Amino acid sequence: MASFLQELWESIFTPGPTPTLLVATNASFAALQFLLLILLIATYSIHFLVLSALCSGLWYAINWFAAEIARDQQVQKAKDEKEKSPEPENASDTDTETETPGPESTTATTTSSAPVPGQRHETPKQTPPTLLEPSTADSVEALRRRRSLGESSGYISTDSEWEKVSEGEEKGK
């Protein structure tokens, strides 16, 4: 019993469903179902029947979820082992084939800049100037306005208002 409790305590800190944790979970749900059955017989209340149905659904869902996690862990472990396994001897032959293009691949490429029918012609997108290095006076002014607005809550403090007044005085000079 002591070793089971120690394993149960350690399984709490182990990721995934451990057998000890599943045994404890199933024993708890079985005890709860037994208690609900006794209370149903003792009181003839429909509430204990409903609680028993809810308990059964939760019990099934937990076991299903634990099985799905265990299956996913097995798939992940198999995938990791497959990646760590040594490559076949003929793998170097296929790598050189994919790295060096043959003469037929160079003839298939087109170098004309005329648009091909059925394809969209995309123009290169220009990147906007960064806020750290503004390149125009407009972006500098936009940066100043953002700083003076403060937080995004819309509240403007009196410090921001004084900054606006001082900026207005500088413009007037």
Measured CA to CA, the distance from residue 10 to residue 29 in angstroms comes to 21
Evaluate if residue 132 carries a pLDDT over 80.
no
Residues 30-46 have pLDDT tens digits of 999 999 999 999 999 99
| Other beta carbons less than 10 A from residue 82's beta carbon | 8
The 8-class DSSP code of residue 17 comes to -
Q: Where are the domains of the chain?
A: 2-84, 137-172
Q: Output the pLDDT for position 148.
A: 58
The 8-class DSSP code of residue 143 comes to H
Residue 65: name the closest of 110, 28, 16 by CA: 16
Q: Among 101-110, 118-127, 150-159, which stretch is predicted with the lowest mean pLDDT?
A: 101-110
Q: Output the pLDDT for position 108.
A: 47
Q: Among 49-53, 114-118, 162-166, which stretch is predicted with the lowest mean pLDDT?
A: 114-118
Q: Output the pLDDT for position 162.
A: 73
Mean pLDDT across 134-146: 64
Q: Output the pLDDT for position 48.
A: 96
- 52's enclosing H/E stretch is helix 46-84
When pLDDT is cut at 50, 70 and 90, the band that residue 91 belongs to is low
- pTM value is 0.46
Residue 139: name the closest of 131, 147, 150 by CA: 131
Q: Output the pLDDT for position 134.
A: 45
- Please name the amino acid found at residue 53: A
Give 104 or 48, the one with higher predicted confidence.
48
Residues 145-166 have pLDDT tens digits of 666 555 455 555 667 777 777 7
Percent of the chain with pLDDT over 90: 33
Give 67 or 88, the one with higher predicted confidence.
67
